[in-house]
Structure 1
Amino acid sequence: MPPKLPSPWVYLPPPFLLPRRLLSTTPKRSIQSHYPPRPDRFNHSPSLPILNSTPSAALARKAYTLPLRTGALATKKGMTAIYDAATGKRTPCTVLQLDRVQVVSHKTRRQHGYFAVQIGAGWKHPDNVTRPLLGHFAEHGVSPKRHVVEFRVRDESGLPAVGAVIGAGWFREGQFVDARANSRGMGFAGGMKRWGFSGQPASHGNSLTHRAMGSAGASQGSGSRVLPGKKMAGRMGGEQVTMQNLKVLKVDEANGLVVVNGSVSGPKGCIVKIQDAVKKPWPEILPNEAAAEAARATA
């Protein structure tokens, strides 16, 4: 028979002499954060809910800025003007032409994490297309396209059928669109032309540095280096520029022309991505209805 253990009062002092950590019988094994979540000071109001970091929450926050339907690829043909004889007003405008714009494939949230439509425009000889891309076109039953661009949409209702032709009738006169295109490349340019610097004095001891940019930064105060993002001489242009809220003035379905108000970046013949304007109310056009009308127009 094992010996009987002594009573607890033999080796334990009174409870009031014991520290508090010894009196707790259930140990706490959870990890407590010193910085619990709280409303961000950059929110519009502290009463707003705390932002979640899940992909579904990120898509929900971005839903109201995503268009309901896809855009289209167009070629910039040049600029002209529309004269209104009643008011005597001359409105400058840009002519965009849609050339064999077709839906190539879809991207779904379940497979890719978001909804998007892959649009192709133009035509390319099969001998000049790589085999993987040629197989991609053959899988979806679409002829090889010269230009392929992806347009994001809000949900599944904005995915037209694969192979559907998008003509000029996809847009309506009076609606607003956003146009994205690469600006004209200016080549290497100095600081005055590229950033609008005023230049240095023409006299009073200045010699051969009239159009120079001047100092590129401090020495010891900034770490003896040129800080990133410093405006200096370099290549100018060739960057994507978005022109927002361009009004559609004319639509010619027979010739595939869309005339928008104002200017669009890029030279003649460049590719322009046009889509419903984000900062304007969405046009009252159902995506399926517009696709059907565009198909009838092309047929």
Structure 2
Amino acid sequence: MADRFWRRLPVFAPLTNAWTHRQLIRKFVVREIVGRYRGSIGGLSWSLVQPMAMLVVYTFVFSVVFKARWTAQNEVAGVSFAVVLFVGLIVQGLFAECIGRAPGLIVSNATFVKKVVFPIEILPVVAMGSALFHSLVSFGVLFIAMMIAGNPFHWTILLTPLVLAPFLLLVLGLTWFLAALGVFLRDIGQMIGLLVTALMFLSPIFYPMSAIPEAYRTLILLNPLTFPVEQARDVLVWGRMPSWSGLALYTAISWTVAVAGFAWFQRIRKGFADVL
């Protein structure tokens, strides 16, 4: 009885719903990943080639053409600029894929909306699962690059899932919200593309926080990408412990966004069929 009571609480609705439909979500994630590369000669190997190519291009542009450097800490820790850069790009890539697809997620799957028995609220979770798969492949490329460059591995790498879990919750909540809003406001898709690009350059992906003037640091810290990018670098690259107080605050905000986004989606989903 107690277990059922906790599961029915609205605050746990996003997780309990995903757990209830976990088998269906798994099948759709696999179908989406395989379907993305269906018909191509390279097949799933493109999921590995793309992050490798991205790593090479960005490293050449920023470290060779622009001669960008992180800090003197790089020389002490033996960490290459490419590794520091790529960690930020992995986090941003997951955010961009989910948020970028969100406004058209329901519209592009209109046939499921008219099927009463189909739980359309799992579509954002499926999109997250697909993006997470490609992020895991990118992490594999990152570890290979670290070994080739001779960068040190720290035990704090094991804390990476803990650091990124709140970020995944935040992205999922925003995806639910934007997926529902995109049904009624089609122009939002164009706005989101601009916003995602702006957030990328307004987060410490291509530059360290120390390079930002004091007057603008508060603004940069309000960027939802800033904290996960910084914390991911701490545990993956620098071997530091995460900021537990910051992680607690970010988790609370992310959980609130996830619950609110799911509630918003469930509240207005009844109008989807009328618009589509």
Which TM-score band applies after superposition, normalised by the shorter structure?
under 0.3
Higher helix share: 2
- Identify the structure with bigger relative contact order (alpha carbons < 8 Å, sequence gap 6+): 2
**Greater gyration radius:** 1
**TM-score normalised according to structure 1 size:** 0.19
Higher strand share: 1
